[in-house]
């Protein structure tokens, strides 16, 4: 029986969704000019920053595996109603860094498993992440026009469809996750609980709620740390943990990788805050300077840029220290963490 896990015949060229095939009437003329924006770095196999060649050689094929698995796991664009499936694919294949799936695959390999075995978890996490971005960009949240170098989902498909595309990606993530093979230590229930908790109201949503509630307020260091741990580090850690779980990692390894993920995830959001202040819209593929405009609680706002940079470096050091038990096997993971500290988008 053919279903949507079969390779789609209309595999999107290089994983990139052609603007030309978007439904024209949904896009008003001013938005059409936004469509023409092209970002030099947003190539189909966009990777983060300018990592050393060795790391690029790891990341490129990893992203290719993830993109082709996402294409298989997602309903085809023509599946009825086509609008929602086009909207889901529009944001999924917009040229994100695919950091979380790459971390998921790397964690699996670090724990003696295979990238292939981690693909369902990696794709599930990327769907949750992409949903969180679609909703984060809505006018009722951060109100952004640009994401991953393209007009945001609601700018192209309208707010109603963007909300539903987010809902559908979140739900579909769990369907994808059921394709992960259970291991002796981690059954399907454990995997589903892992993703549900990280995405739920005690982690990702908690962070997003506090992020909104604290606009325009002076937050304490602890609240800011909690916001960043929740809205960003939790899902990033989840990606790593699910990768490790797909490889049947021992509890000790899972603990070490959890500490790694939390430090790296926190560093990642601190750097995201810094880049919002220091980089251009073109480089970021999303509107620069939004955090100041929205008086968001960020590390540069609370500590200043220099201190925020030092905190990101300390957190990265903490992440690297957590990898010690893995010794030389953690070379790739270490390189990923180091490259994120110097990333430019």
Contacting residues toward Mg ion, per CB under 5 A: 136, 142, 272
Q: Which range binds ligand IPE by CB under 6 A, 17-25, 132-140, 219-227, 313-321?
A: 132-140
| Closest to 16 (Cα-Cα) out of 112, 175, 150, 137 | 150
Site string for ligand IPE, 283-322 (x = CB under 6 A): ---x------------------------------------
User: Which is nearer to Mg ion, 254 or 301 (by Cβ)?
Assistant: 301
Q: Which CB atom, from 194 or from 272, has the smaller least distance to ligand IPE?
A: 272
Residues 161, 88: Cα–Cα separation, whole Å:
9
- At its nearest, how many Å lie between Mg ion and the CB of residue 151? 15
The 8-class DSSP code of residue 203 comes to T
All residues at 6 or more sequence positions from 145 whose CB lies less than 8 Å from its CB, including other chains: 34, 151, 152, 155, 287
Q: Does 262 bind ligand IPE (CB under 6 A)?
A: no
Backbone angles phi, psi at 208, to 5 degrees: -65, -40
Our finding on whether 232 is near ligand IPE (CB under 6 A) is: yes
Write out the binding residues for ligand IPE, residues 190-219 only, by CB under 6 A. Answer: 204, 208
Stretch that binds ligand IPE, among 52-60, 92-100, 108-116, 194-202 (CB under 6 A): 92-100
Rounded Cα distance, 244 and 254, in Å: 7
Least distance between Mg ion and beta carbon 19 (Å) = 23
Q: Are 79 and 4 in contact (CB under 8 A)?
A: yes
Which residue minimizes CB distance to Mg ion? Answer: 142
Task: Write down the least CB distance from residue 313 to Mg ion, Å.
Answer: 19
Cα 37 to Cα 51: distance, rounded to the nearest angstrom: 25
Query: Does residue 88 bind ligand IPE (CB under 6 A)?
Result: no
Write out the H or E segment, with its range, that includes residue 147.
strand 146-147
SS3 (DSSP) at 181:
coil
What string of DSSP letters covers 70-111?
HHHHSPPTTSSSHHHHHHHHHHHTS----HHHHHHHHHHHHT
Q: Which does 145 bind (CB under 5 to 8 A by kind): Mg ion, ligand IPE, none?
A: none
The secondary structure of residue 231, as a DSSP letter, is: I
Binding of ligand IPE by 269 (CB under 6 A) = yes
67 near ligand IPE, rule: CB under 6 A: no
Residue of this chain nearest to ligand IPE (CB atom): 96
Report what 71 binds from ligand IPE, Mg ion, none; CB cut-off 5-8 Å by kind.
Answer: none
Residue 119 corresponds to which tokens in the numbers above? 């693909």
* Least distance between ligand IPE and beta carbon 150 (Å): 10
Ranges of H-type helices in the chain? 29-35, 53-73, 82-92, 99-110, 115-136, 153-157, 159-177, 188-199, 204-213, 221-228, 234-246, 251-278, 281-284, 290-293, 299-303, 305-322, 331-341
**List 67, 71, 109, 142, residue binding ligand IPE (CB under 6 A):** 142
The minimum distance between CB 140 and Mg ion, in angstroms, equals 12
For 324, which DSSP code? G
Residue 96 binds ligand IPE, judged by CB under 6 A: yes
Kindly tell me which of 64 and 206 has the beta carbon lying closer to Mg ion.
206
Binder to ligand IPE among 133, 176, 270, 336 (CB under 6 A)?
Answer: 133
Q: Which residues bind ligand IPE (CB under 6 A)?
A: 96-97, 99, 132-133, 136, 142, 148, 204, 208, 231-232, 269, 272, 276, 286
């Amino acid at each position: 029986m053919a279903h949507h896990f079969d390779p789609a015949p209309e595999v999107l060229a290089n994983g990139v969704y052609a603007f030309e095939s978007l439904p024209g009437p949904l896009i008003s003329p001013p938005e059409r000019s936004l469509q023409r924006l092209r970002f030099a770095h947003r190539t189909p196999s966009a990777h983060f920053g300018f990592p050393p060649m060795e790391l690029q050689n790891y990341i490129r094929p990893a992203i290719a595996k993830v993109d082709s698995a996402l294409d298989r796991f997602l309903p085809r664009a023509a599946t009825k109603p086509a609008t929602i499936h086009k909207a889901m694919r529009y944001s999924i294949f917009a040229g994100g860094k695919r950091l979380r799936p790459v971390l998921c695959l790397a964690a699996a390999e670090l724990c003696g498993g295979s990238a292939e075995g981690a693909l369902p978890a990696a794709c599930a996490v990327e769907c949750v992440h992409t949903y969180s971005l679609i909703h984060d960009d809505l006018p009722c949240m951060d109100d952004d026009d640009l994401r991953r170098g393209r007009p945001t989902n609601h700018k192209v498909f309208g707010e109603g469809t963007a909300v539903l595309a987010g809902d559908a990606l979140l739900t579909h993530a769990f369907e994808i996750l059921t394709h992960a093979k259970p291991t002796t230590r981690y059954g399907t229930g454990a995997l589903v609980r892992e993703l549900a908790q990280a995405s739920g109201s005690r982690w990702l949503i908690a962070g997003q709620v506090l992020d909104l509630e604290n606009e325009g307020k002076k937050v304490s260091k602890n609240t800011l740390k909690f916001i960043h741990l929740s809205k960003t580090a939790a899902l990033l850690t989840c990606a790593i943990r699910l990768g490790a779980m797909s490889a049947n990692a021992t509890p000790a390894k899972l603990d070490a990788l959890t500490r790694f993920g939390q430090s790296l995830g926190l560093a990642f959001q601190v750097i995201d805050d810094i880049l919002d202040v220091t980089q251009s819209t073109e480089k970021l593929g999303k509107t620069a300077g939004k955090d100041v405009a929205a008086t968001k609680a960020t590390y540069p706002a609370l500590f200043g840029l220099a201190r925020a940079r030092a905190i990101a470096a300390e957190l990265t050091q903490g992440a690297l220290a957590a990898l010690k038990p893995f010794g030389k096997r953690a070379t790739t993971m270490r390189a990923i963490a180091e490259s994120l500290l110097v990333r430019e988008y």
